[in-house]
Structures are given as C-alpha cells and as structure tokens.
Amino acid sequence: MKTLLLTLIVLSSAVVHGAEQVFFAFDDHNIAWQHNLKLTLVEATKHPENPVLRRGPEGAPDHGHAILYGTVIKQGDTFRMWYLGMHETENKAGQAPGWWRPMCYAESRDGVHWTKPDLGLVEFNGSKRNNICLIGGDVFSMTRVNDFLSVLHEPEDPDPSRRYKCAFIAHMPFEEVKGGRSRIGPDERRWGAMICATSADGLSWKVVGDRPANAGGERFEVSSLYRFGDFYYSTGQLISPWSWRPDGSKIGRDMLAYRSPDFVNWSQAKALAFARPGQLANPPVEGQQMHMGAGLWNRGNVLVGLHGMWQDAPEPPPKGENWNFGVRIDLGLLISNDGVHFREPVPGFRIIPRGQEGEWDDIAILQGHAFVNEGDRTMIWYSHWDTGGKLRNMEIGLATLRRDGFGYLSAQVADNDSHFVTSPFQGKRLSLNVADISEGAPLQAELLDPLDRPVAGFTASVVQNGTRVDLPWVLPEGPHALKLTYPADSRARVYAVYINP
C-alpha cells in the first residue's frame, strides 16, 4: 500500500493544480485506447509576410543576424520576444572566446509586426540606444551570451527579482570555471557553460551565483528552461565523446536533461531525454542527429515541442567552405508526459519544413520556445540558419496552425464505427477541439469510471464544430475517463480534449 501511494503522488505532482489539462490527439499516453482510429499530423502554414522580424541595419547589435534561439510569450496585449543578435566584429580583448551574441528584445501587438525598443541598458558601438538586455554578474565571461537562451516567466514567485528566469550558453575560458569540470572528453579552447540568471522585468538580469550550473560536470549546450512538477529542467544537446548511446557507443547530437529543485543547485547526473529513432537503431542511420534540444511549450500536464531534424551533408564540404556546409534541418514534433522523456508521435514528420530552394528559409531552420494560442490559431515562431556560414537570411519567421491543431484522430475504416477512451482524470468541465462533424452523424460522449463502467446520466451527443466545444456536464468528484464514439461513415476530426478544474 505504501508503494502504491508513493507512485500516485509522483504521477500527480507533474500536473499543475488548478490548471487546464490537455489531451492532444497525438498523446498516445492519455489517449492510448483506440478502436479504428488513425492519427494525422498537420504541417504548419508559414506566414505570407515572412520573415516577420528582420536583422537590423549595419551597426545594429543584430546586424549579422536575428535568430530565435530564444523565447516568445504573450503578456496582456503584448507579445514579447527575446532573441539573439550577432554583429560581425570579433570580441574585444578580455571577453570570452568566440562571438558575443547579445540578448535582444522586441515587442509586438499582433505577433507579426515587431518593434525593437531602445532599452538604454547596454552600450554598443558608442551608444545605449539599442534593444540589448543587460546581464550582470560577478564573473564577466558568465554574462556574455554565446548561444541559445530560454526565458521562463513565473509571476507567482514570491521574490519579485526572480519572476523571470533564463538559461543560456556562455563559452567560458577554462580558468574562470569555478567548481571544476569533468574530464570526460577532450580539452577545448572554450567550455560550453550553462548559465542561469533572474530578472524582475525580463530586461535587466543578474547571473545566479559565481559558477555555471553545470560546473563539476560535462560541457553542456543548454537550449531550454521549464518547470514541471517539483523541478526546474533544462534540456540541451551533447555529442560524443560527452554523450553516448545507452550501450556506450558513439552518438551524434542528442537531447539530455538536467534538473534543479530551486533554480540554484543543479544535478550533475543527467537523463537521456530524446534521440531520433535512427540514432538508436543498430546500425544507426547515417548522418541523422537531433539539433539543439527542443523548443518547448508547457501545457500543464504535458510538454509539446519542436526539435531540429538534422541531416548531415551527403558529401564532405568543399575546400574552404564551413565545416557544416550542406547540413539540412527541418522541425519535427515532440511530446513529453513526465517532463524528462520525449518522443515523436510520428517519427520523421516535418511539422515546419525548411523552405524550397531560393526561399528565405531554404537551408536549415531552428526552433525556439515560441508558442502562443491567439484566438482560433496557434502561432509558432522559428528562424533560419545558413549552415554555409555566410549569415544569409538568418531572420525570424512565423508559422500558424488551427488552435492546438498539431494533429487529429479520424476513422481508419470509413464504414465502421470508431472510438477512444482517455486516461483517468479529475476535473469539473470537459471541452473538445473538433471539426467536420456532420448533422446526421454526431459524436457520442460518455463518462466512464476508472474501470470503464458508464457513469449514469453522463452521455451527450456532440453536433457542434469548434476549437472549444463544451460538453453539458459538471463532473462529480473522483477520477473519470471520457469515451468518445464516432458513428460509421463519420468524417469527424478530434484534435484535443480539455479538462478544466
């Protein structure tokens, strides 16, 4: 009995109490039990005005590129974007090795047309009239963003100075890494450091502590920050020799996760969060890798995300070209039910493909933590990467879907009825995201107890289409499941079930 009780506590702690739960059509944990149904994922539609945020003019901090190794959230009526800029000048003496990619900031009223406010915080090219966020700290090299940054907003944090949190990569000189570093892997001229920082407003930041979050462990290219249950998590990428397949053999870029209970003390142990199926095959699929962790969207009970579907160039780069010349990357869909382990609902499906040859995003595209539900649409921002190293068209675009419309369940054999049964849940109200119900073929909703027995008085016919169609029930106490039946010849598409507290 004690063991069972502990298991129940652990499973329930991942759900944010009082928050909506979403059972997506592609979530084969929460909608595992299916009869005569198939899953169809949906490719996002790219905005006709892409790229919606362009790099700045010569002399601007984002002149080299504006790249969404960053985050978009909506607060009130304002879309807020944190992204990386890069100017085409080497760092001054005394700065960290490599390029300085400042944390830049932009705002929008519609998510399409963006402004870059003069924040007046950081001097650049002799002026503070720019959109660079300030990052302060005791160790200078820890304040210099070199790569991916992820911003988390927690308005409920009792400490106002910690209501914004971020994690980013700094490439630090070895001698400045307090707390030591692992000897796994070769010595390099720089060390991939995971840096955490906090802010009251998301514009002026202070680095947490005097050492990287991964001090004492391996180098780590962090790409995400989120809270799920009792822990903060950061995922990112590593590659052999710092990472390996479960049997110890070599692996390309895969996704690993660290965790922290307080945003200060981070685990040295890490979890293998995701590798593309071809990476784990025996033998592995040639050239298949997973690029830069995942851009994630926390929906309370599940994490939805995009990952970079990296494919090596078919031939070595020509002499004089960049080392990754010819690499191509599309974006695929991920989901996690525990905040640690991720999976592709349909391996290899490109939910945002790179553009056709000659289009602005035709080489490789990059994911951010950049998802907003606005009206009946889901908005997703992404950016372009010129793997040839010429900084060509490295700007930020927008793609959209039906609201939460990443994929849907529909009948496999048309002239047969179909149904699914969800996992047990607790809540008071249920809604459906559904399309293509015909008047003569309504869906039948039925509430079940945890042993699949019908609950008397809780049946309903669903005849309406929409992104949120309410079922006419106030649920009794206790865990329940939903059975949803499609009649024969139904063309209905079910995208999601919502459970409201």
Q: Cα(first)–Cα(last) distance of the chain, in Å?
A: 28
pLDDT-based confidence at 211, cuts 50/70/90? very high
Instruction: Classify residue 336 as exposed, middle or buried by CB count within 10 Å of its CB (0-12, 13-18, 19+).
Output: buried
For 361, the token pair is 């995003």
Q: Is 108 or 59 the better-scoring residue by pLDDT?
A: 108
Residue 78 CB contacts under 8 Å (≥ 6 apart), including other chains: 107, 108, 109
For 424, the token pair is 């047990």
Task: For the chain, list the domains and their CATH numbers.
Answer: 15-42+408-500 (2.60.120.260), 45-403 (2.115.10.20)
Stretch among 128-137, 236-245, 384-393, 448-457 having the lowest mean pLDDT: 384-393
Please tell me the predicted confidence (pLDDT) of residue 16.
52
The SS3 assignment for 160 reads helix
Determine what percent of the chain is predicted with pLDDT higher than 70. 94
pLDDT-based confidence at 99, cuts 50/70/90? low
Contact yes or no for 339/228 (Cβ under 8 A): yes
Residue count (the chain) = 501
For 344, the token pair is 């592709």
Look at strands 221-222 and 418-421 and give their pairing: unpaired
Nearest to 310 by CA among 322, 297, 293: 293
Which long-range CB contacts under 8 A does 151-159 form with residues at least 24 apart?
151/70, 151/71, 151/73, 151/82, 151/202, 151/225, 151/369, 152/225, 152/226, 152/227, 152/232, 153/73, 153/75, 153/202, 154/227
Q: What is the 3 state secondary structure string of 254-266?
A: EEEEEEECCCCCC
* In the predicted structure, residue 90 carries a pLDDT above the cut 70: no
pLDDT-based confidence at 313, cuts 50/70/90? very high
For 455, the token pair is 């609950």
The SS3 assignment for 122 reads coil
Question: Cis (ω within 30 of 0) for the bond into 501?
Answer: no
pLDDT-based confidence at 97, cuts 50/70/90? very low
Tally of CB atoms within 10 A around 174? 11
For 226, the token pair is 């989120």
pLDDT-based confidence at 94, cuts 50/70/90? very low
**Mean pLDDT value across residues 365-389:** 97
Cross-strand pairs, 290:
309
Stretch among 155-164, 173-182, 200-209, 337-346 having the lowest mean pLDDT: 173-182
Please tell me the predicted confidence (pLDDT) of residue 87.
64
Please tell me the predicted confidence (pLDDT) of residue 308.
98
**Mean pLDDT value across residues 11-28:** 75
Nearest to 46 by CA among 375, 436, 433, 356: 356
pLDDT-based confidence at 17, cuts 50/70/90? low
147 — alpha (psi -120 to 50), left (phi > 0) or beta?
Answer: beta
Strand boundaries in 449-492, DSSP class E: 454-462, 466-470, 481-486
Q: Which single residue is written with the structure tokens 């063309």?
A: 491
- Across the chain, mean pLDDT equals 92
Stretch among 58-72, 178-192, 307-321, 481-495 having the lowest mean pLDDT: 178-192
pLDDT-based confidence at 424, cuts 50/70/90? very high
Determine what percent of the chain is predicted with pLDDT higher than 90. 85
Strand boundaries in 76-218, DSSP class E: 78-86, 103-108, 114-115, 134-136, 147-153, 164-172, 191-199, 204-207
The SS3 assignment for 205 reads strand
Cross-strand pairs, 470:
431
* In the predicted structure, residue 98 carries a pLDDT above the cut 70: no
Using CA atoms, how far apart are residues 177 and 95, in angstroms rounded to an integer? 14
Please tell me the predicted confidence (pLDDT) of residue 15.
52
